[in-house]
Amino acid sequence: MDWLSPQRKIVLILLLDMGIFILDILIVPDAVSIGFFYIIPMILTFPFHRFKYPVIVAVVSSMLIAIGAFIPMPPDDQLLTVIVNRVISILTVCLCLLIIHYRLLFITALQKAIAEEKAKSAAQRAFISMISHEFRTPLTSIDGHAQQLVLSGPTQRYETIVHRARKIRSAVERILSLLESVLHSERIEQGQLSYNPVTFDLRDLINEICQRQQDALAGYELHVDMSEAPAMVWGDPFLMEHALTNLLSNAIKYSSPSSCVDVIGRCHNGHVVIIVRDHGIGIPTKDMPRVFERIPLAISNPGAARPDPERGSFAQARPDSAAG
């Protein structure tokens, strides 16, 4: 019932406590203490979801149990028995309070686990939806170029066949890259990713990554500036390639046509910092704390603008000292 709020329930329970106290002082004390009746109000507090209400009842009950032991004053031959019974009664009330405490902890942990499972389920659904969308684009490209090859017949020019074949190969490479990204993410989450640093040419790696993105860069301007970064660095080229490929792919994906994507290399505190910066739709401010989660956050608000476009995205490697 709406009128029976937690505050009103606790008042009724405290009134029950007072009723037990009145009964306690009216009954002549004997070997069996009526103090155990105070467990009833404690049991009634089990449904409460806030621990402060059982604590209030436990404190009031314990005080009434102690006071009731001496009103009226028991005979000398029963005093020790009454005191022992009252102490046991108070300990029983405290035990009820402890059970309630752990019950509430269990409920909180269970609710948290359920919320986390729901969040994971929602993230998985969003991830599957995103992957389906990502696969649909290259598959559509493959299907379109394959149909054109069939419809054009044997009379089409060799250059046209080569062009369409390259488009198909590019789409296949895109699918393989997506599959590798998914497997890479799983390895990261399972802690199975190894770090194998070597000395490698960062500029060659950047150029190779940008070259592979040329088909996706149609209509975009790609500006690469590695003049302030050393050529040779110490790091894991596989992890660096994966990170930069994802950054560059996302920069293109969420940018408007004819916009510019910058890839800039700099040295900072003994490390090489690679900045991939776009001028696209950006990430909403409310989603910034979640930028390292798997789900693409910018999709959640296509009209949002990045709070600080100059920040871009970063990947780091250490310059190779032997290479200068």
**CA-to-CA separations, 92 to 10, 15, 58, 71, in angstroms, rounded:** 20, 20, 10, 21
Which residues touch 75 (CB under 8 Å, ≥6 apart)?
none
pTM as predicted: 0.49
Task: Tell me what pLDDT residue 218 has.
Answer: 61
Question: Rounded to whole angstroms, how far apart are CA atoms 208 and 86?
Answer: 82
Which residue, chain included where needed, has tokens 């910092």?
273
The one-digit pLDDT tens for each residue of the chain (324 residues) are: 455 788 888 899 999 989 988 888 887 655 456 778 888 999 899 888 888 999 999 999 999 888 887 887 777 777 788 788 888 888 999 999 999 999 999 999 999 999 999 988 887 887 777 777 777 777 888 888 888 888 877 777 888 888 888 888 878 877 887 777 777 666 666 666 677 888 988 888 888 888 777 655 566 778 888 888 888 888 888 888 878 877 887 787 777 777 788 888 888 888 888 888 887 777 777 777 777 665 544 444 444 434 333 333 444 445 554 333
Buried b / exposed e along 20-58 (16+ C-beta atoms within 10 A): bbeebeeeebeeebbbbbbbebbebbeebeeeebbeebb
CB 298 within 8 A of CB 254: yes
Q: Where are the alpha helices (DSSP H) in the chain?
A: 6-26, 39-44, 52-68, 76-152, 158-189, 202-212, 237-253
CB 312 within 8 A of CB 276: yes
- Which value, in Å, is the radius of gyration of the alpha carbons in the chain? 35
